[in-house]
Amino acid sequence: MSEDRIQIAVDGPVATMTVARPDKLNAFDIDMLKALAAACDTVETMREVRVLILTGEGKAFSAGGDIKAWGGMDAAAFGHDWVRFGHRVFERLATLRMPVIAALNGHALGGGLELAAAADIRIAESQIKIGLPETSLGMVPGWSGTQRLVTRFGAQIVRRMVLGGEMFSAEAAKAEGLVDAVVETGTVMQAARDYAARVAKRGPAALEISKLMIASANGEDNGAAVEALGSILVAKTGDLREGVAAFSEKREAQFKGEW
């Protein structure tokens, strides 16, 4: 079942989200995108979770979009039901309140790299390959490959992958800033758990706000980041408590400028 292909396991303050379609190299179809969106909503509500590890089952992190899932779509369906929907789902992942660590246990290609780019930290096993091969199929990256990847990694490295079709080894990807650390084959989950344990020791409110501030400074979703930060601040004020109380009691609010 599609919902079984995005699995969540929780161990104290650390949740692990696994893309589990190993027979297809964890390639996504529409139902898996829906399952990923639902999984993001679920983990967001787990207040005990302070950090999320994202990984793939089997020998790949993710091969991206399943060609059989989109190959027969007409232009309208491809643009709206596939590209725009997938973009929204990956944006949901990128804007989770908690830090996300991508544990790249295998190749991250096309949409798989776009998936990894939605994380805050990327740890890769030494044998993996990274790339954006979409133009070899006559298509373009559609799940933020030319947007978030350019913002986070720089335009030139994305040009090399998209226009030149360059594939990068884990070490080369680290040198280019595409991944943050490289570990031996078979050890990425332990490395991710160790890093997650470091993150989980820090103040959860500070982590959430810092993530918003960094995203805003990086030009990512500025409007939502500013409004979220403002709302968090206002939610702690005496004025808001007075406003809600006045509404409930059907009286005029008496604001005192209380923070």
- What DSSP letter does each residue of 97-154 carry, written as one string? SS-EEEEE-SEEETHHHHHHHTSSEEEEETT-EEE--GGGGT----SSTTTHHHHHH-
Backbone angles phi, psi at 17, to 5 degrees: -110, 120
End-to-end CA distance of the chain: 49
**Tokens read off for 105:** 């246990």
Active site residue 134: yes
Check 114, 125, 208, 220 and give the catalytic one. 114
Check 125, 134, 208, 220 and give the catalytic one. 134
For 236, which DSSP code?
T
What is the side-by-side order of every strand in the sheet holding 60-62?
A: 60-62, 107-109, 129-131, 168-169
Which amino acid, one-letter code, is at 246? Answer: A
- Half-sphere exposure (Cβ direction) of 135: Cα atoms closer than 13 Å: 14
Cβ atoms within 10 Å of 216's Cβ, excluding its own: 17
Q: What angle do CA 191, 118, 27 make, to 5 degrees?
A: 85
Active site residue 242: no
Which amino acid, one-letter code, is at 225? Answer: A
Nearest to residue 56, comparing CAs of 115, 14, 110? 115
* Pair type for strands 107-109 and 168-169: unpaired
Q: Can you tell me the distance from the alpha carbon of 170 to that of 106, in angstroms, rounded to the nearest whole number?
A: 10
Catalytic residues: 114, 134
